[in-house]
Amino acid sequence: MACALLSWLLLFTALATPSQCNRLGPMPRLRYSRFLDPSNAVFLRWDFDFEAEIITFELQVRTAGWVGLGVTDRYSRAGSDLVVGGVSPDGNVYFSDQHLVDENTLEEDGSQDAELQGLTEDAVYTTMRFSRPFRSCDPHDQDITSDTVRVLAAYGLDDTPKMDRERTFVKSIFLLQIVHPDDLDAPEDTIIHDLEITDFLIPEDDTTYACTFLPLPIVSKKHHIYKFEPKLVQHKETIVHHILVYACGNASALPTGISDCYGADPAFSLCTQVIVGWAVGGTSYQFPDDVGISIGTPLDPQWIRLEIHYSNFHNLPGLYDSSGIRVYYTAHLRKFDMGVLQLGVFTFPIHFIPPGAESFMSYGLCKTEKFEEMNGAPVPNIQVFGYLLHTHLAGRAIQAVQYRNGTQLRIICKDDAYDFNLQETRDLPYRVVIKPGDELLVECRYQTLDRDSLTFGGPSTINEMCLIFFFYYPRNNVSSCQGYPDIIYVAHELGEEVSDSMEGMMAMSNVEWTPESIKKVEKACKEAQQTVIIKTIDELVENTTGWIQDINPTPRGPCLESSGGKVEPQDKTPAGFRAAPIVLSRASSATLRCLPLAALLFGQGALSWLLATLQSGI
């Protein structure tokens, strides 16, 4: 009987071509999109259901051959997952969940965890749409997480799936964006204002920090800035590394012109409260509808410091730049005035990373117990809604952890797959409350296998940073809260006799760096007492001390039960599975690409009976 049913279904699917499947009506719009290749031949749309933990992709490629989409990591294509599909010359659809055994060899997964929703080919494009769980129980499937995801796309000119370096692309994307710009209000009375440097000749140096002071928009009453975006001049290569806008206290005496931010004139490093920031790979960012940056009142800053970091690694001459930040503001006021709090490791050479490290952790502590004293008024609970992560080239992961009364509350944000080339402001899935007295810890993980000398904290791209910017409301006067370890204690733990911090820092150059000494100094840096430096918008500085607490990692959620695949040992718990829907064997599933249409034509009850009959093998 099963053979007869299967024959009947084969006849049905032959009549119901892929194009007929897609003519049932418009599929739900996928809100997010990105080109994945330099020539704009590979276009990806996606969307997700955060509660169901299902993501839907639609890949459109300028080809009449096969197409593939999956997830890889930063180190090797081997082990990448790739969902492959296409329409053969006779009109039949092929589709399967595969993985790369090595850089070039594809192999079908034992468990098919991708669900086809549509596959068409026309005179120009092959378009494949499918869904998959964030996390299946198939070890060949890479997880979709709230980290940066390295999306792998590939295609061919015919219908024989075979990896070709020229038609394989990897792009880092933050897939699980909580808020889409279309979900936010755009006021009708929007005014645009550009904060930019003008015709600046970029020095022929590896690293330049150019600063200038500019007025904020002059308005007669309170307004709110609700959106910002980079305004970049295109060069032959990426020259602008990051742009920061710092609010200046109204009592500050500010210099004129453009100069080195951290050079001979210390006036050009005045103003330390970040209000907006952009870094390489980022795009525009719009604040939630109930918050904005206040301008136009006596308490609001009137001037800003614009800081642009240029990385001219090839020492190109004659490059002029007029980059900056474009802000959008409105007289339609939001409920809350927002601020930005800078956290992490204080950026100076006491922050160091040994060479040849597979993994090295750095920590920066913030203690909020002095915020009220430094603010000059009671500090309401801080409501964090967004964040920006920032390290340089050696950074591999970064996270912020919250503690209250000595107990870890939560990991506020993290990225275990950090990519220097994708630094963007991201929304939290919910607003995090920070109460007075809470402690905030930033942990950064670095890798320096390609380096043979110490990497120090500093402004250059080849130096390192470990920073997180919290976007929060309501605004207070505290601009930054950063920590660093007692370098004298660290040096003593390594057997170096030093009497002050400068000697401690210099002593690190005497150490023979081996895997054992790297782990020993990492442990010492974590156990050392931290000095915490708190600054305000008016340049007030206060120090305190504290200790690094352990971080309890967030347990992974249950995987979606797979069909025919192996289950990871850590998933073998009563709570380790989410039941999967009925899954057909590969033999039968290959013939049932148009089952939604069958359900419409013959009724869901008849279809359910048909599926049950096929699976029982009657």
Percent of the chain having pLDDT more than 70? 86
CB proximity list for 339: less than 8 A, separation 6 or greater:
273, 275, 471, 472, 473, 474, 475, 476
Q: How many residues make up the chain in this entry?
A: 618
Sign of CA dihedral 25, 27, 29, 34: negative
pLDDT level of residue 6 (50, 70, 90 thresholds):
very low
pLDDT level of residue 32 (50, 70, 90 thresholds):
very high
Tens of pLDDT, residue by residue over 470-524, are 999 999 999 999 999 999 999 999 999 999 999 999 999 999 999 999 999 999 9
Q: From residue 344, how far is each of 146, 178, 433, 437 by CA, in Å? A: 21, 24, 18, 17
Query: CA-CA distance, 15 to 491, in Å (whole number)?
Result: 76
What is the DSSP-derived secondary structure letter of residue 595? H
Percent of the chain having pLDDT more than 90? 70
Residue 391 has pLDDT above 80, yes or no: yes
Query: CA-CA distance, 559 to 113, in Å (whole number)?
Result: 11
Residues marked active site are found at 209, 390
Tens of pLDDT, residue by residue over 197-236, are 999 999 999 889 999 999 999 999 999 999 999 999 887 6
Of 11, 106, 19, whose CA–CA distance to 66 is shortest? 106
Residue 557 is predicted with a pLDDT of 79
Query: CA-CA distance, 618 to 616, in Å (whole number)?
Result: 6
pLDDT level of residue 74 (50, 70, 90 thresholds):
confident
Tens of pLDDT, residue by residue over 139-161, are 899 999 999 999 999 999 999 99
H-state helical runs in 343-402: 371-375
Could you tell me the pTM of the whole model? 0.84
Burial profile 92-125: b = 16 or more Cβ within 10 angstroms, e = fewer: ebebbbbbbeeeeebeebebbbbbbbbbbbeeeb
CB proximity list for 168: less than 8 A, separation 6 or greater:
77, 152, 153, 154
Residue 589 has pLDDT above 50, yes or no: no
Of 319, 296, 318, 295, whose CA–CA distance to 308 is shortest? 319
Q: Where does 512-608 show beta strands of DSSP type E?
A: 530-536, 541-546, 559-560, 577-578
What is the rounded average pLDDT for all residues in the chain? 86
Q: Mean pLDDT, to the nearest integer, of 63-92?
A: 94
Of 418, 353, 350, whose CA–CA distance to 387 is shortest? 418
Burial class (CB in 10 A: 0-12, 13-18, 19+), 37: middle
